[in-house]
Structure 1
Amino acid sequence: MNSDKLDTGNKRYRVLMVTGIYPTQASPHKGTFVKTLVDSLVARGHEVEVIHPKQGPVIDRYLSTAWQVFWKTLTGRFDIVHGHYGLWCLLARLQWTTPVVAAYLGDDLLGTVTFDGEHTRKSLLVARISRWLCRHVEAVTVKSEQMKKMSLWENAVVIPDGIDFTRFHPIPREEARTMLGWDQKRNYVVFANNPAIPVKNFALAQAAIARLQERGIAAELVVASGLAQEQVVQYINASNALILPSVAEGSPNVVKEAMACNIPVVATDVGDVAELLAHTAGCSVCPHDADALATGLEKALAFQGRTTGREDIRHLDMMHIVEQVVALYEQAIQRKADNCATRFLQARQSPTIVEGR
């Protein structure tokens, strides 16, 4: 590594980002948080190359990624390999020349919950691999304290996804509704996840809206799934509230995005939601119960004006989060150097045994 990379001044790292999810023209909603991180790193002068294999058979994607990681790191051009999600982090570790930061996203440590509340066998295997990998990389990041506990690795660092405050910001509700062609007088509740994913619990959101209507409060549930971030901003600002009825989460970005737009959030107690919403009036953390969520929505719909969510999560502005990530890069590089030095000293101190004839 060049000596200027070890200066205590302004460091500029060359980062190889490895991820199975990244925004594309066909899927603009996937992995937006990874791109936000990449853009923030580049804006601060770091060099980032992204390995994101094109869609196809899973085994082909893994093999392609493993090959690229091996050859790109063999050149010695990169200072850090930053993997996202358990199995992609494993591929990042299929080389030992460059330090690895493994970023876990949620179900790669927590497991994937099915409709019946059980965990899939595959997800339990992935979680086991992820926990093993924690001990074989230079640095580990998780999204919440719950994930850190499940990692069984005390050195894991909690770094939630940051929010691009320049993109997610308050827009007058009337203006946002005009953009979308929505009725100015109706109550809208946005569900900003994929309804087909069991853990997102769309059925509970529907049940909560039904309970609300039984109380004589009209509200329409709107799904914002598969959209580009620019559209998500419009949907959130046009809505009266965001609902998150998930069974499990790491650190749900949609909650932080709604807060950045000063929109009330009604959510189940998953991941770091309770911590995020603790000081924001108009928001509610509820048990997994339709009536409880309906009560939270009733409170949100009655809330006058915008929330203080944006100010309450100012510490999650991407400009602050990226500083934490860069600091972790420095630690990972130093840990790699220390480990190499230790092995070198051990090798020199090992006695040489000469066998006689």
Structure 2
Amino acid sequence: MKVLFITNMYPTSDYIYNGIHVKEQTDYLTSKYNLDSQIYFINGRQSAINYLKSIFSLNLFINKNKFDVIHIHFGLTGLFLLFNPFIYIPTVLTIHGSDISSSKLFGLLPIITKMVTKRVNKVIILNENMYSLLSKYNYKLIQIPCGINIKQFNIKRANNPISFTIGFPGDKRRPEKNFSLFEKIVKELRNTHTNIEIIEFHNFTRQEVIDNLSKLDCLLMTSFREGSPQIVKEAMAAGVPIISTKVGDVEKLLENVENCSVINNFDHTEFLEELLKLYALDYNERITNGYLKLESLSLDQDSVTEAIYSLYQTINK
């Protein structure tokens, strides 16, 4: 099977963690099912003009090659479909979150994503909320959250019972990550506890993510929105306690997971209360059964790619 992956989420030399989960998924699919695959990367971070350029270059590229399936990651990267009504190749779109809920591009991003949704055969969504946002196209939707290599993150915890280390999941400069709330919570905690350390999980290599997860006493997510956050799954596999806002599929992920909590508001006092509960635990008690929960949800990379490949087969008949 010859598959074209089109994405604006892919590692670059200046942003090595950008879209690493997309790269890992496409690599795993290609290797496991012996696909003849090609990656077409649209570097939107470099310039928004690249999306416009892709309209013409992608259509030329597709016309010169015979693909069995096209898999688009992120709604905006499917812009080329809106300018070519004569592409009849079976096409899958994975929606990652901000492409259907963000106000960027003057609110045009969700509109473009819905227009692309209309053109494709199937749409992979990451959480239940996306069903309601795309209710008109429910017959096209299938929920397949991105998976992780669970064994890679099932790690031994670093021995540092002196400090209480909190992880911030993402780039603090991104508004949707809501770093101001995180900062407020930590500031309150430091009023009574001086041994607090912070690790910002941004632009790490895979090994750096693993090494730093092993140091955490808690991952604290204060985001306004998420799709199906990979860092939460990685922390679960590593046995790290997680406190998070109710975003994406986090509530489903953390249901019945020990020492984890989901807060349905942005009141810093509620986050602080949960943090203090973790702080009060003995160092060796700050662990979770997240690894087992991931296995029960079939969020290992093998199960996820099997579901995606089955989808390719279905639309390619």
TM-score for the superposition, normalised by structure 1: 0.80
Q: What amino acid is the match of 1:239?
A: L
Q: How many residues align?
A: 305
CA contact (8 A) 1:28 1:226 kept: yes
Q: CA deviation at 1:215?
A: 4.3
Residues 263 and 56 of structure 1: CA distance in aligned 2, closer, same or farther (over 3 Å): closer
* Aligned: 1:294 with 2:285: no
Alignment of 1:1-357 (within 5 A): 13-44=1-32, 45-54=34-43, 56-59=46-49, 61-91=50-80, 94=84, 96-111=87-102, 119-120=103-104, 122=105, 124-152=107-135, 153-155=137-139, 156-174=141-159, 185-216=162-193, 218-286=195-263, 287-303=265-281, 304-314=285-295, 315-334=298-317
CA contact (8 A) 1:22 1:35 kept: yes
Q: What amino acid is the match of 2:304?
A: I
Q: CA deviation at 1:217?
A: 6.7
Q: What amino acid is the match of 1:219?
A: I
2 CA distance for matches of 1:310 and 1:229?
Answer: 18
1 CA distance for matches of 2:150 and 2:112?
Answer: 35
Q: CA deviation at 1:167?
A: 2.8
Residue by residue over 1:50-82, the C-alpha shift from the partner in whole angstroms, topping out at 9 and shown as x without a partner, is 0114564321x2244334432332245211111
SS of the equivalent of 2:153 reads coil
SS of the equivalent of 1:161 reads coil
Residues 123 and 312 of structure 1: CA distance in aligned 2, closer, same or farther (over 3 Å): farther
Q: CA deviation at 1:220?
A: 2.1
Residue by residue over 1:162-193, the C-alpha shift from the partner in whole angstroms, topping out at 9 and shown as x without a partner, is 1122432223322xxxxxxxx65211001021
Gaps of 5+ in 2: none
2 CA distance for matches of 1:123 and 1:170?
Answer: 43
SS of the equivalent of 1:249 reads coil
Q: Percent identity?
A: 26
CA contact (8 A) 2:221 2:243 kept: yes
Residue by residue over 1:315-339, the C-alpha shift from the partner in whole angstroms, topping out at 9 and shown as x without a partner, is 10010000111111122223xxxxx
Gaps of 5+ in 1: 1-12, 112-118, 175-182, 335-357
Residues 159 and 210 of structure 1: CA distance in aligned 2, closer, same or farther (over 3 Å): same
Q: Which residue in the other structure is 1:349 paired with? A: none
2 CA distance for matches of 1:168 and 1:69?
Answer: 36
Q: CA deviation at 1:280?
A: 0.4
1 CA distance for matches of 2:166 and 2:122?
Answer: 39
CA contact (8 A) 2:241 2:286 kept: no
CA contact (8 A) 1:73 1:97 kept: no
CA contact (8 A) 2:42 2:77 kept: no
Q: What amino acid is the match of 1:58?
A: A
SS of the equivalent of 1:316 reads coil
Whichever of the two has the greater Rg, that structure is 1
1 CA distance for matches of 2:76 and 2:155?
Answer: 37
Residue by residue over 1:102-158, the C-alpha shift from the partner in whole angstroms, topping out at 9 and shown as x without a partner, is 1111011112xxxxxxx44x2621101212222221111111010121122212111
SS of the equivalent of 2:189 reads helix
Residues 74 and 97 of structure 1: CA distance in aligned 2, closer, same or farther (over 3 Å): farther
1 CA distance for matches of 2:292 and 2:81?
Answer: 36
1 CA distance for matches of 2:183 and 2:57?
Answer: 44
